[in-house]
Amino acid sequence: MPLITIDRVTKSYGSLQVLKGVSLNIEEGEFVALLGPSGCGKTTLLRAIAGFVAIDGGDIVIGGRSIVDEPPNRRPVNMVFQNYALFPHLTVRENVAFGPRRNGVSKADTAAIVDPALETVGMSAYGERLPGQLSGGQQQRVALARAIANKPKVLLLDEPLGALDLKLRKRMQMELKDLHQKLGITFLFVTHDQEEALVMADRIVVMQDGDIAQVGTGEDIYARPASRYVADFIGEANLLPLERAADGTLRIAGESEPLPYQAPDGGAAATLLVRPEEVRLGVVPEGGVGLSGTLTDRVYIGNATRLFVRTASGQSVVIQQAGAGPEAAIPPGTPVRIGWAREAARVLTG
């Protein structure tokens, strides 16, 4: 049985429906990321689990018990807030002790919880400081220690790394992953950063307009996106609109050559997804797809080079190649031939 069952949860603010019947199961010990742009409902869902948002319909069950009628202080979850929400009038130790003390742990026994919690996040030396005397990264660690001091069944994290600079964020991503391993607690993590979700999460839940667009491992979602929306959100993507010819074959809009792909069922609009690293310059693999175009621009980004091509029918295609490559010599404006292997592209609805 899953640890958390989210069952057809709905929530509206006035006429705006922010959760449209979301259902999701989370197993014990999983690290799940809720991923999506702002306004997709991911934070609302997290806050509904924490108890700060009253849901209109559906149910949330944790460990076999429905928690929707419980106040936040009675739920078996703890949250790391986006801005950490450390109590500014309490020292680091008092912040971490806050939870255990409210839950009836005696003063003497609290130390036995606070010390290891601070040690886990490497903040033992800062116990007597006030939050205002700590850096952003240190506050982040204290917020983590405070949230795990209650030994919750689920740790909720609301974009906890958003305020940190890039380098620190990368390091904290790895530390959070380690912490998850060490504690064995279920982590539910909200982020709008697809890379962060890919790095940390066992499973990614991509959200779109109050609904779940796709659930899967990072690899599932990157390699086999369920829709144009998901493909566009995760990683770089060339998304080429498709047309159906009279004979039922698919073509890239404006191109005449039929594609070796099946049209989706029904009359839904279709898009072809090709990742930039799958596109070849000057070569069309056997049985693959080839297009003619013009090289419009070239950008060197250190570990790779990105080439921008405009096809004869006016589509732009990005090619990413490792290193600088011999293409560095091709001047923009040169007519080129591009192509990709048949299995490197996918037809998506939308």
Partner 1 sequence: MRINRFSAAILLGIPLIYLIVFFVTPLGMVVVDSFSNPAGELTLANYAAVLGEAYYWQVLGYTLWIALVTCVATLLLGYPLAYYMSLIEHRRTVRRVCFILILMPLFTSNIVRSFGWIVLLGREGLVNETLLLLGIIDRPLRLLSTEVAIIVGMIYVMLPFMVLAIASVLQNMNGSLREASRDLGATAFATFVKVTLPLSAPGIVAGTLIVFTLSISSYVTPRIMSGGRSVVSSMLIYDQFMLVFNPFLGSAIAVVLLVTSFALIVAYTLIMERRPGRGGAS
Binding site for partner 1 (CB under 8 A): 50-52, 71-73, 77-79, 81-83, 85-90, 93-95, 97-99, 101-103, 107, 110, 146-147, 150
Among 137, 141, 118, 120, smallest CA distance to 128 is for: 118
Please report the beta strands in the chain, taking only residues with DSSP state E, as ranges in sequence order.
4-13, 16-26, 31-35, 57-62, 65-66, 77-80, 154-158, 186-191, 203-208, 211-216, 238-244, 250-252, 270-274, 280-281, 289-300, 304-311, 316-322, 335-340, 345-349
Tell the smallest beta-carbon distance from residue 70 to partner 1 (Å).
11
Tell the smallest beta-carbon distance from residue 201 to partner 1 (Å).
22
Tell the smallest beta-carbon distance from residue 4 to partner 1 (Å).
16
Tell the smallest beta-carbon distance from residue 292 to partner 1 (Å).
56
Tell the smallest beta-carbon distance from residue 80 to partner 1 (Å).
9
What's the rounded Cα separation, in Å, for the pair 230 and 233? 5
CB nearer partner 1, residue 58 or residue 76:
76
CB nearer partner 1, residue 104 or residue 267:
104
CB nearer partner 1, residue 70 or residue 327:
70
CB nearer partner 1, residue 191 or residue 194:
191
List beta partners, residue 35: 191, 206
AA identity, residue 78: N
What's the rounded Cα separation, in Å, for the pair 144 and 224? 34
CB nearer partner 1, residue 102 or residue 182:
102
CB nearer partner 1, residue 114 or residue 237:
114
What's the rounded Cα separation, in Å, for the pair 243 and 253? 5
Tell the smallest beta-carbon distance from residue 197 to partner 1 (Å).
23
Assigned token pair, 303: 């570990």
